[in-house]
Structure 1
Amino acid sequence: MTSAQQFIGRLMGFGRNRDGQFHALQEEALAEAAPPEPPTRRHRHGPEPQRIVQEALAAKILGAWLQNRHQTLFPLTLNLGTLDAAGRALLVRMMVAAADADGGIDEAEQDRIAAALEAIGGGKAERGLLAEAIATPLPLGALLHQVMEARLGPHAYAASLLALDRRSRVNQAWLDYLAARLALPEEVTASLNRRYRA
């Protein structure tokens, strides 16, 4: 008796059901013991179907991760309550700098910033910071440097979106400049523009 026959015999013995039937195991064992069919000319040089499926799934998973990588790498939800005092102050100053990009901050823009601060968790302290930032603005270069040092680039861009009327060409140019200056990828700014559409 060959080793293949012994193997089949053992499988049939262990797999026998109470009613004595073992068709499923017998067919499986015979399929395993049978020599593989020689490759046809059509499939001789082609990849195995299982490998094709694995590669396709891997490509899809990688593509999905790449599309969402910035949402996992960057905290894009703007909530002042999650930041320390220095971070909150920086974002207030960024909102003031954004509103001032078109040459000045009028009363309507101040009201807009105050409403935006309240919407993202700001309180009395942030309203006080707003008045201070308008009265004594930081030089833009120094402000952006501090934002980058604090790793708050996406937050600063989102805060600027909330402070601006994006229908203005000047304000849109400011946002483009800010994205470039803070080295924000296009995927990040596109996501923020969707989230904080005014």
Structure 2
Amino acid sequence: MTDLRAYAESKRIPIVQSGFTTETESNSHGEVLSKFVLEYPDCTHYLFLDTDVYFVEDNTLNVMLEELEGRANVFGIGPRMSWDGVVEIPEETRKAIPDLYETRLHPCCALVKNTELFRRVVKEIGLSCVKCLWANGEEYLDTLKLMTKVMKTHGLRHIISSKMVLHFFCVSYVWEPTKHWDEVKANRRDTLLRELRERGAG
């Protein structure tokens, strides 16, 4: 954390605690993002970024901003995602897990236009996970998914950038469907962190 704090300070970026512990009853992700949006209403855009995202291509955020601007029917943009930092997540996997691209703006790395409509949706509905109870079952809507659906009712959608990031997914916690990858992902993460530290020291 020492290096991170020093870097953030050099860029005049405040590090602010969320106010939540790591032992909340439910996922606090969306609530943290909602709180941030409502407390900072005067920016041009919001960048949501998970700590397990690694940028593998230059100028990713600048390109995402360029691709987002000038498109009146688009409210936000996310990058293409990779599990190894080399190739994009396979199309068959993306189709099997539509929450990666299709059905929501994924919060791992999301750039959103700051509009009155977006802030109103955040205030009234929020960005948190939601469970819908249907007559014959239930549906779990992950972080940002309900917001994405509501924005669609206003004729607004999200798009996927030409740029790609490495998203480790679930490295800091156990999720059964990807549990068998945890050791490989953790080793990859630690290797990249070590290389970054060595580069910074050199």
Q: TM-score range by the shorter chain?
A: under 0.3
Question: Per residue, is there more helix in 1 or in 2?
Answer: 1
What TM-score do you get using the length of structure 2 for normalisation? 0.20
What TM-score do you get using the length of structure 1 for normalisation? 0.21
Q: Which structure has the larger Rg over C-alpha atoms?
A: 1
Question: Per residue, is there more strand in 1 or in 2?
Answer: 2
State the structure with bigger RCO (CA 8 A, min sep 6), 1 or 2.
2
